[in-house]
Amino acid sequence: MILRAFRKPSDTSPPAIREEDIARLYPFADQTPQMLETIAGHSELATLPPGPWVPECSDEWHWFLLRGELELHHQGKLRQRLQHDDPAATFPLPCIAGDQYRLVVTSRLLKVPARYLGLARARFGEDVPPIQLQEDNEEAALYCRFREELQEGEFELPAMPDLAVRIGKALDDPHTLNDDIARLVQLDPALSARVMRVVNSAAFAGGIPVDSLQNAVARLGRQQVRNIVFSCIIKDLFHTRSPVLKARLQGLWEHSRRVAAISALLARFTPGLDAGRGLLAGLAHDIGAIPLLHAARGMPELLNRPLVLDRLISEMKGEIGYLTLGHWGFDEELAAVARDAERWHRLGTSLPDYLDVVLVAQLHAFVGQGIHPELPRIDAVPAFRRLALGKLSPQASIMILEEAAREIEEIESLLR
């Protein structure tokens, strides 16, 4: 099998790059005619026949599918099938080591200099506007003091329970039998009950009821068992005996639980993504707020200034969440969900991921609540166009989730 790198057509007069082709790509949709002409003049175009294709991966270029259809494979498994008229095709193709492309039909590929996508990212912006503090020297001093203490590491990241560490190692060991994993899970009755509830739920497995933990592990698979174990750990972090923090943590848990349930459903609707991993990503997206709240207990004056505390949490929870999940040994993809869970206008690539799922799930969770008016519309975030529901209108996608309300409620009940 011969793999082809990028090459220009043999015709000495390659087809011209049309400005309208550039304009339909998401990063350049609102560019001026002059800029579209400039981008077209600095880009390259190729028409290639069906078969394997190896893109020229570089920090200097990005690829787009203009016409045709392709498949993206990772470790021998199909991750994405993309047609040029899919909403996701308006984003750059991912270029990840180990991934392989196959052109299904004769296709036209566009190669655009990365500097123009850099301009697009800067234009979109990244974050929700920060909470504004009142003009108060005491508030400003309090804000700076707490932030400095956090930056100096004067707070503790939550530790992973020993049993979770043991189960994680057992799941990673290919020589460990399912019976061994089941025996470890049985050491925690609450965890055992959770696994049995999930395996017999319609939302995840369903089918013939399972009556033993050994059979549950076999049916769910190791990755799903891992998701459930870590979900239990995260759930326990929201419990506190502190009356000062109880209301805040309860509200944070209810939001995380709702986002997790919607994330599981969105992931299931999207080819290449897994509902259990979507659930875990949703639960973990705000985890950085928990150590920040516990650290604030040592500063009663901060707890009495909720706007200051809200701003600190908003600005720092991503960084602390990323550190927490890295501390626990979570992979980079899930850790990035905690870090970037409010990068609403993150450009991304044509390949949907779990950060896309969580971004859209959060916006769905706020629908009809009349809060957070500063948040973007669902159809205004790039992530919405990449998910399977992105092929529908926002109203249609909301309707689908409303019709699936019973499933969402069942998933939420699994977390109670």
Residue 157 belongs to a domain: no
Distance CA 218, CA 180 (A): 11
pLDDT per residue as tens, the chain (416 positions): 444 444 454 444 556 889 999 999 999 988 899 999 999 999 999 999 999 998 877 888 999 999 999 999 988 889 899 999 999 999 999 988 778 999 999 999 999 999 998 777 666 554 444 445 555 566 677 777 777 766 666 567 777 888 888 998 998 898 999 899 999 999 988 888 888 888 887 776 666 788 888 888 888 888 888 888 888 888 888 888 888 888 889 999 999 999 999 999 899 889 889 888 999 999 999 999 998 888 888 778 878 888 888 888 888 899 889 988 988 888 999 999 999 999 999 999 999 999 999 999 999 888 766 566 678 888 889 999 998 776 767 777 777 777 777 777 777 777 77
Domain with 111, as residue range(s), is 19-124
Please indicate, yes or no, if residue 162 is contained in any of the structural domains: no
Q: Percentage helix, strand, coil, to 5, in the chain?
A: 55, 10, 35
Q: How many domains does the chain have?
A: 1
pLDDT in the model for residue 300: 80
Is residue 113 within a helix (H) or strand (E), and if so which, with residue range?
A: strand 107-113
The answer to whether residue 252 sits within a structural domain is no
What CATH number does residue 69 fall under? 2.60.120.10
**Is 35 a domain residue?**
yes
Q: What is the pLDDT of residue 160?
A: 81
CB neighbour class for 184 (10 Å; exposed up to 12, middle 13-18, buried from 19): buried
Q: Which residues of 95-120 are buried (b: 16+ CB within 10 A; e: fewer)?
A: beeebebebeeebbbbbbeeebbeeb
| Residue 387 and residue 270 in contact, taking contact as beta carbons nearer than 8 Å | yes
Please indicate, yes or no, if residue 82 is contained in any of the structural domains.
yes
Asked if 307 contacts 357 with a C-beta cutoff of 8 angstroms, the reply is no
pLDDT at 27: 92
The count of other CB atoms within 10 Å of the CB of residue 233 is: 19
- DSSP reduced 3-state for 144: helix
Question: Is residue 302 domain-resident?
Answer: no
| Residue 70 falls inside a structural domain | yes
Query: CB neighbours (10 Å) of residue 242?
Result: 12
State the CB neighbour count (10 A cutoff) for residue 134.
Answer: 10
Spacing of C-alpha 135 from chain mean position? 36
Q: Specify if 112 maps to a domain.
A: yes
Q: How many C-alpha atoms does 75 have within 13 Å on its Cβ side?
A: 1
